[in-house]
Amino acid sequence: MTYTGNVAKGGPADVREVPGLTISKIEVGDFGNNAYLLRCTETGDGLLIDAAAEPERLLDLIGDMPISSIVTTHRHRDHWGALVEVARATGAQTLAHPLDAPELPVTITREVGHGDRVTVGVVTLDVIHLRGHTPGSIALLYQDRHLFTGDSLFPGGVGNTQKDPARFEQLFTDVVERIFDRLPDETWVYPGHGGDTTLGAERPHLPEWKARGW
């Protein structure tokens, strides 16, 4: 596998072929945001995760093939800065959790919650609600092996909860119960910023995260 998940602003996408999907990762904007284009290998339909910034680069990545959906993982502006432009140019439906949807700059076509499914072509992804970074943060899971976590899980820890103990406890609990307790070590994690990781690489450090409180 040549895919590493290491991308840089202005640089090319890193592309990975997995059964049923092509995953393209690109960095956009001034905050090192990752955007992910998923394409069904059977139908060519596409789904974009986080139209974060630089709409022209995202539209170049999408190209002439259609996308049917844009999923916004959470309400923070650095994850939806290009949402208006990309949604208008592609005609794709927009998806987000109902607790974060009112903060987004477009009317959300479909609100999704924990346990819902999102379809791209003939494949489906599971929605996982991870409360704490924002009230309506979500992750998308494909075949229990590919997990797109937004800002809720990174290499080295969970997302920022602004030193709020209650929010940290909620996010840590959700990440443990809904991700680590459920999924195998080989599950690949595609975060909202920076490089990728696997659950196996992070699992031994859960007690450290719990102890430090962030």
Q: What is the DSSP string of 35-100?
A: EEEEEETTT--EEEE---S-HHHHHHHHTTS---EEE--SS-GGGTTTHHHHHHHH--EEEE-TTT
Q: pLDDT tens-digit profile of 99-151?
A: 999 999 999 999 999 999 999 999 999 999 999 999 999 999 999 999 999 99
Residues sharing a CB contact under 8 Å with residue 8, sequence separation 6 or more, in sequence order: 27
Average of per-residue pLDDT values in the chain: 98
Measured CA angle at 139 (ends 26, 189), to 5 deg: 55
pLDDT (average), residues 31-58: 98
**Stated pTM of the model:** 0.98
The C-alpha atoms of residue 111 and residue 97 are separated, in whole angstroms, by: 5
> Which domains, from first to last, does the chain contain?
14-212 (3.60.15.10)
Centre a 10 Å sphere on the Cβ of residue 157 and count the other Cβ atoms it contains: 17
In the chain, helix, strand, coil percent, each to 5? 25, 30, 45
Centre a 10 Å sphere on the Cβ of residue 2 and count the other Cβ atoms it contains: 7
In this prediction, residue 1 has a pLDDT band, given cuts at 50, 70 and 90, of: confident
CA distances from 70 to 67, 119, 132, 161, 185 (A): 8, 11, 22, 25, 28
Closest alpha carbon to 88 in 63, 73, 70, 112: 70
CA atoms within a 13 Å half-sphere pointing along the CA-CB vector of 31: 13
In this prediction, residue 191 has a pLDDT band, given cuts at 50, 70 and 90, of: very high
Centre a 10 Å sphere on the Cβ of residue 31 and count the other Cβ atoms it contains: 16
Amino acid letter, 130: L
- R_g (Cα) of the chain, nearest Å: 16
Helix axes of 55-62 and 83-90: crossing angle, nearest 10 degrees: 30
